[in-house]
Amino acid sequence: MFLLQKAWRTAAFGVYGFTQFTKSGFQEHSKRFKPEDMQIQMQGKNCIVTGANSGIGYATAEGLASRGATVHMVCRSKERGEAALLKLQSTTNNPNIHLEVCDLSSITEVKAFASKFTSEHKPLHVLINNAGILEHNRVTTAEGLELNFAVNVAATYAMTELMMPLLEKAAPDARVITVSSGGMYTTPLTRDLQYSERNFDGTVQYARNKRIQVALTEKWAETYGDKGVGFYSMHPGWAETPGVAKSLPSLSEKLSGKLRTSEEGADTIVWLALQPKEKLVSGAFYFDREQAPKHLAFAGTASSHSLIGEVADRLRSLCRLSF
């Protein structure tokens, strides 16, 4: 039964992906997009975009900066971050773009960044947890965390929790947008956060990480429902980015010419940042500017979300957060 369900999930994900997640899916879905949704200015809004030097994160930062937002780009490489900053400043003419260097695979660095950033007491209107990786080998960080988990989950969790005081300052307009992936459809939520099984599979671990992001978003919406902060997870579709070229070269080759651009991948992130909160559902998962299911039919993944309380407790302890 378990193996059959797993095979069904993979097959259903493949069909959904090839028909909806590619460029043609975006072109089809964009026929119902409303141009006025994107004609909203963001002057005076403070935004953080993690992984903003490349791919979807860069396109997101550009989408926000071109609408006048103050954008803080969180990047691990000073050199790559500065190159992206210069490019963004020249394409958007926005003087309010800042580079914050932080390696998100280190909880210590996330905490140091959060401590410095929160000491300025500025309201934070939009936090975009975009940085992500798919590492195929089992790599352990200096802090003893499996690397995919450290960047995709632990950093997302710690950054969001540590930014809550600043997000609350921007309430009721504050929001957290977490860039998950349709890959999460292939797996339920599990307790095994750091893939302790033998035969490490980075693709499976990535999908598990992305499932946690969706379940955490649901949990945050419930926990912080009265704080005026909205929480949304989303899938960008399959976009041609440096990350995909590096981590999934065969998919990248097979779908050559059929992948979305980074801007098309960022479209729903920017849309979520711009829309009046009344239009959005906190805790929901979005794809191509509308709510999408968190589980595929007959996939047997829905009941696993009941584990999220346990997972969140474990994350708090692993990230050594005290609240």
Query: Which are the catalytic amino acids?
Result: 206
Out of 20, 70, 130, 233, the residue judged to bind ligand NAP by CB under 6 A: 130
Cis peptide before 172, with omega less than 30 degrees from 0?
yes
Q: For residues 124 and 169, is the Cβ–Cβ distance under 8 A?
A: yes
* 55 interacts with ligand NAP by CB under 6 A: yes
Which window, 35-43, 128-136, 219-227, 305-313, contacts ligand NAP (CB under 6 A)?
128-136
Q: What are phi and psi of 302, to 5 degrees?
A: -60, -45
Distance CA 72, CA 232 (A): 19
Nearer to ligand NAP, 242 or 249 (CB): 242
* 287 interacts with ligand NAP by CB under 6 A: no
Nearer to ligand NAP, 56 or 299 (CB): 56
Site string for ligand NAP, 230-269 (x = CB under 6 A): ------x-xx-xxxx--------------------x----
Min separation Cβ 321 and ligand NAP, Å: 19
Nearer to ligand NAP, 67 or 260 (CB): 260
Among residues 137, 144, 263, 268, which one has the least CA distance to residue 206? 137
* 186 interacts with ligand NAP by CB under 6 A: no
* 146 interacts with ligand NAP by CB under 6 A: no
Q: For residues 137 and 200, is the Cβ–Cβ distance under 8 A?
A: yes
Q: Which two tokens stand for residue 168?
A: 């609350």
* 217 interacts with ligand NAP by CB under 6 A: no
Out of 49, 65, 71, 151, the residue judged to bind ligand NAP by CB under 6 A: 151
Q: Applying CB under 6 A, what is the total number of residues that bind ligand NAP?
A: 28
* 188 interacts with ligand NAP by CB under 6 A: no
Min separation Cβ 278 and ligand NAP, Å: 27
CA torsion sign for 86, 98, 62, 155 is: positive
Q: Which two tokens stand for residue 137?
A: 């080998």
* 77 interacts with ligand NAP by CB under 6 A: yes
* 105 interacts with ligand NAP by CB under 6 A: yes
Q: Which residues of 240-267 are buried (b: 16+ CB within 10 A; e: fewer)?
A: bbebbeebbeeebeebeeebbebebbbb
* 132 interacts with ligand NAP by CB under 6 A: yes
Give Cβ neighbours of residue 121 (< 8 Å, ≥ 6 apart): 166, 169
Beta-bridge partner residues of 72: 48, 98
Distance CA 155, CA 111 (A): 9
Out of 22, 49, 62, 103, the residue judged to bind ligand NAP by CB under 6 A: 103
Nearer to ligand NAP, 41 or 115 (CB): 115
Out of 69, 163, 179, 280, the residue judged to bind ligand NAP by CB under 6 A: 179
Sheet (strand 126-129) strand order:
97-101, 70-75, 46-50, 126-129, 174-179, 229-235, 285-287, 290-292
Residues near ligand NAP (CB under 6 A) are 51, 53-57, 75-77, 80, 103-105, 130-133, 151, 179, 181, 236, 238-239, 241-244, 265
